Amino acid sequence: MSGSPDNSGSRRRTFLKGSIGAVGLTSLAGCFENSSTSGGNGGSVPGEDGEMIMTTSSETTAAYSMSQVIANAVSQNSDLEVQARPSEGTNANIGRLQRDQSDISYIQNWTASKVANGEEPFENLDYTPYQVFHLYDLAWFLCSANDDWTSVSDIGSGDRISPTPSGSGTAEMLEYALGFVTEEYERVSIDYGSQGGAMSEGRLDAGAGTFINGSVEPGWLQQMKGTVGLRLLQWPDEAVSELEEDPAVFINSVDTTGFDNYEYAPDTLNTPGLSYNFVVRDDFSGETIKAFLETLWEQREGLGEDNALLGSMADGEHWTKNGYTTLPFHPAAAEFYQEKGVWNDEYEIGE
């Protein structure tokens, strides 16, 4: 169903049960639209002045909190000046890079595939996003409080479904994946924190949830469990097999046995997900990228002390985990990872 470039290798990621926690996480994607954020660079080559604006998502998200820790770690331990600023999300970040309102921004694999294919709203970009490093993964799933529902295939005609609020990159991905199972449902848009109430009032038959890196529950998901008897919906095997062949979608296999208080959950939940990586413009200064990565690498073991979700960055292999085969890596980043022994030869290196 997707026109994305072919991708090699397995499309499934397995998450084993781990420590379970709650973090603040709301909308994780946004729109490709104008913003009041202003940045830019002071030299002929973007980034050569050592000043970087980093954007992820809105101020209430885990991603923004993580970016603040990263920016501070680099700024306080180098000559670079990195500022973390809020953004509307992944689609908007592509636009910010285009308008020189951001220097390094995170996107996800769904957006990366659309950019690579020149799909709306990215058909007129004047640059190619180059990958720099991996931040985290989100395993997105559908969930319901309806008695006896155990599968996405239980969704029927007239059922009210909110696969995340309308307009986000995550919504596009989940709507697309849902199309492999059914299109006979009523699409509604409910904010993450309001889903539990909507379910208890009978206004929502299934909503969206996520596990961060396959092991952490956002706070709003825990609130849903406290409001209704929440059931995790399994994706049918046939749909999973088809989605695994699509380079725009990652399939996650999450061990749910470490999670508590779900009315129903399969031991292993197979569900679509998104991988979030930071990118820069293809003309961004290689010297600045190298200095940024070298400083952050030196600080990597202490990042988790300021934000638990950054603890995985202590492992060097995390930095190149789940790179996109649809977009190249910045040459300076690729050279850095080759020197550190964590480069993956399956990835493309930009010119």
Is residue 1 included in any domain, yes or no?
no
For every residue of 260-294, DSSP letters joined together read: ---SB--SEEEEEEEEEEEEE-TTS-HHHHHHHHH
266 and 292 share a domain? no
DSSP type of residue 56? -
**Digit-coded pLDDT (tens) for 222-250:** 999 999 999 999 999 999 999 999 878 88
Rounded Cα gap, residues 276 and 28, in angstroms: 10
Rounded Cα gap, residues 57 and 80, in angstroms: 22
Total number of domains constituting the chain: 2
Is residue 11 included in any domain, yes or no?
no
216 and 327 share a domain? no
Q: Give which of 336, 275, 267 is closest to 300, Cα–Cα.
A: 336
Q: Cα-flanking dihedrals φ and ψ of residue 151, to 5°?
A: -140, 155
Please say whether the beta carbons of 173 and 140 come within 8 A: yes
167 and 48 share a domain? no
One-letter amino acid for residue 199 of the chain = M
61 and 84 share a domain? yes
Please say whether the beta carbons of 288 and 41 come within 8 A: no
- How far is the CA of 105 from the CAs of 198, 279, 301, in angstroms? 33, 6, 22
302 and 218 share a domain? no
Region for 193 from its dihedrals, namely left if φ exceeds 0, alpha if ψ lies in -120 to 50, beta otherwise: alpha
294 and 319 share a domain? yes
For the record, the structure tokens of 296 come out as 């952050």
For the record, the structure tokens of 29 come out as 């994607």
**Digit-coded pLDDT (tens) for 150-203:** 999 999 999 999 998 886 678 889 999 999 999 999 999 998 889 999 999 999
* Final residue in a domain of this structure, among 247, 274, 301: 274
* Final residue in a domain of this structure, among 274, 304, 319: 274
Is residue 29 included in any domain, yes or no?
yes
106 and 154 share a domain? no
Indicate the pairing of strand 250-255 with strand 12-15.
parallel
Is residue 163 included in any domain, yes or no?
yes
Domain range for residue 180? 138-274
Looking up residue 214, the CATH number of its domain turns out to be 3.40.190.10
Please say whether the beta carbons of 69 and 303 come within 8 A: yes
63 and 182 share a domain? no
pLDDT tens-digit profile, the chain (351 residues): 433 333 333 445 554 544 333 444 433 333 333 333 333 444 478 899 999 999 998 887 788 999 999 999 999 999 999 999 998 888 889 999 999 999 999 999 999 999 999 998 899 999 999 999 999 999 999 999 999 999 999 999 999 999 988 866 788 899 999 999 999 999 999 988 899 999 999 999 999 999 998 888 988 899 999 999 999 999 999 999 999 998 788 899 999 999 999 999 999 999 999 999 999 999 999 999 999 999 999 999 999 999 999 999 999 999 999 999 999 999 999 999 999 999 999 999 999
Is residue 123 included in any domain, yes or no?
yes
149 and 265 share a domain? yes
310 and 253 share a domain? no
Is residue 349 included in any domain, yes or no?
no
Is residue 346 included in any domain, yes or no?
no
